[in-house]
Chain A
Amino acid sequence: MSTAAIEIHGVSKTFRRRERGAGAPWWRRQWKDKVALHQLDLTVEAGGVTGILGPNGSGKSTLIRILATLLTPDTGQATVFGWDVAIEPLAVRRHINRVSVEAAFFKELSPWENMLYAARLYGGGAAGTRQRTVEILERLGISRELLNQPMKQLSRGQQQKIAIARSFLSAPSLLLMDEPTTGLDPRSKKEVQSLLAMLRAEREITVLLCTHDMDEAAALCDRVLMMDEGRVLADGSPAELCARYGGAMLEDVFMRLTGKTFEREEEEVGVT
């Protein structure tokens, strides 16, 4: 088996949508292509936190979805711990978990019912799951009284923490985090970030962290990839990138590489 957690060779992904051009009649729609990933090559060694920085539409989420076996690449090959995501998805799924920007839960069910469902999907049962769930949630600052309330009554920050706790429950070797702190209040954001740091210190785990937040990337990541329009523009540790491109912060590096400001890009590009 390969020592690399992730190996990607020549992966491309294009989405096709039928759209009506400006002024065109309602029945005339044309196929339009949007390139999400362009011939991507990437190797991530096992262990550590690798950050992927880029604005909306840069291909971050597409990359995460391909690794999570939720999208198939148009060309190239992506492997997780040596297993091909398109050919051996079941083997890949046994080693990964994902925390997405929207905490994906059955909102009418309680955290406990959602956690139990997750435990069953990952081969566990009710025995021991409640104890582990309580332990993980208490470390995340979620009181056990919330365990039986419907998810919809919890704040966004609480839901996101439970999503992270759920991903810990299956003890993944590769954790895919797709903007886990986006939309959280500063306090929740900090708690999630310290949790990630704690997780890193405690367990042998590889984390791929997609984020918009340059400070978060600088604080948490050993290695940062800057992406724009489906391409990797720069690759290195935060300090290396700043030194290489002559910026005080990662945001300056992004501006030098693309000639664009990060904020403006986020406003202009649609969600991928």
Chain B
Amino acid sequence: MSVGTRHSEVNALFGFAERQFYVYKRYWVWELVWLFYSIVSVLSIGFLASGLTTLGVGSGSFDLRKAQLYLLVGALLWGYLSLVFMEAAYQIAWERWEGTIEYTFMAPVRRITHLMGISIFAIGYGLARTFIVLVVAIALFNLDLSHANVLGAVVVLAASIVPLIGLAILTSVLPLLSPQKGEQMSFALQGFMLLVSGVYYPLSVLPFPLQAAGAVSPLTYALAGIRHSLLDGSGAGDQLPTVGILLGMGVILIPVGILVFTWAERRAKRLGLLKRSG
């Protein structure tokens, strides 16, 4: 790739993120509403943990504080991951709805740049929103993070971005495959990830086929790693195997995501699915 082409691609990558920033700025009231929804979703899980004592769960060796942190970490990360999924899938569906999808697809930009631009913005936005929810949760539940190793958690979170980009690209394919039902299909996929990735419970409680599905989900490793650091104080060094698994999954998922997207784009061009009317 020549220097000029590389410069153009970087410009376009920034352009996708910048466009989204302008869109969110314009829809800021909606963003506040969604932030409110994220906060109340996470808080309700936190209060669910607090309420366990009234059900007689908090006796014996049961560590209620730990359970609360376990569930809150799950809720926070799930909020973040589901947001990234939704943003990635919604990009294509939304461009079709706006009628701009043909304009974007005929621009002289490599598809990898387009998809990376979408994913990177979604991840950045998801992290920013999750940070706000985290601050509210810490303040409200007076979370005990004295045993936590924040650096270890951050390292795992950073590594999880790589497979997450691959998953986001794969999710964004769905509206390209089916203009009418693609977005709903991405919600179904999200729901399945929630079921098998150990968001609110350990994988061991699942029947074997679901455990097997959970074992290939990068979210399982991201959640387990972050929980180890925040609940048990695992440091960045201890997290190296988890980081390796996450990066390995990303190395597979990103090219697979791009290949699948390229196939779906060719199919859409063959069948004439890029038009708004489908």
Contacts and interface: CB of A to CB of B under 8 A. Distances in A.
Given A109-B22, A120-B15, A15 B108 contact: no
B221 to A, nearest CB: 35
Nearest to A94: B108
Contacts of B106: 68-70, 93, 96, 98
Interface in B6-34: 7-8, 11-12, 14-15, 18-19, 22-23, 26-27
A106 B98 contact: yes
A121 interface: yes
B180 interface: no
A260 B250 CA distance: 59
B89 to A, nearest CB: 18
Contacts, number: 91
A6 B109 CA distance: 22
B266 interface: yes
B19 A109 contact: yes
- B4, B102, B105 interface centre (most CB from chain A within 10 Å): B102
Interface string A145-176: 00000100000000000000000000000000
A116 interface: yes
A150 B22 CA distance: 11
A145 B230 CA distance: 53
A90 B11 CA distance: 16
B8 A123 contact: yes
Interface string A31-44: 00000000000000
Given A70-B105, A94-B108, A121-B104, A102 B11 contact: no
A93 B5 CA distance: 13
Contact of B19 (A72, A113, A122): A113
A257 interface: no
A240 B269 CA distance: 36
A247 B65 CA distance: 89
B101 to A, nearest CB: 8
Given A70-B274, A93-B107, A120 B23 contact: no
A106 B266 contact: no
Interface residues of B, number: 33
Interface string A91-123: 001101010101011111100010011111111
Contacts of B110: 90
Q: Give the interface SS of chain B, mostly helix, strand, loop or mixed.
A: helix
Interface string B230-258: 00000000000000000000000000000
A71 B269 contact: yes
Nearest to A68: B106
A121 B18 CA distance: 11
B23 A109 contact: yes
Q: Give the interface SS of chain A, mostly helix, strand, loop or mixed.
A: loop
Contacts of A124: 11
A106 to B, nearest CB: 6
B99 interface: yes
Nearest to B104: A121
B266 A72 contact: yes
A72 B269 contact: yes
B269 A70 contact: yes
B23 A68 contact: no
A125 interface: yes
B56 interface: no
A154 to B, nearest CB: 15
A150 B274 CA distance: 25
B26 A15 contact: no
A263 B170 CA distance: 46
Given A15-B272, A106-B23, A109-B26, A121 B99 contact: no
B208 interface: no
A110 B23 CA distance: 10
A72 B269 CA distance: 6
Interface of A: 15-16, 65, 68-72, 90, 93-94, 96, 98, 100, 102, 104-109, 113, 116-125, 150, 271
Interface of B: 4, 7-8, 11-12, 14-15, 18-19, 22-23, 26-27, 98-100, 102-110, 266, 269-272, 274, 276-277
Q: Which 9 A-B pairs have the closest CB atoms?
A: A120-B15, A123-B8, A121-B107, A93-B108, A94-B108, A117-B19, A108-B26, A113-B22, A104-B103
Given A106-B23, A108-B26, 13 more contacts: A65-B272, A71-B272, A71-B274, A72-B266, A96-B106, A104-B98, A104-B100, A106-B100, A113-B19, A121-B107, A123-B4, A123-B8, A123-B12
27 contacts: A15-B271, A65-B102, A70-B106, A71-B272, A72-B266, A72-B270, A90-B108, A90-B110, A98-B106, A100-B102, A102-B99, A104-B98, A104-B99, A105-B100, A106-B98, A106-B100, A108-B23, A116-B18, A117-B15, A119-B15, A120-B15, A121-B15, A122-B8, A122-B107, A122-B108, A123-B7, A125-B11
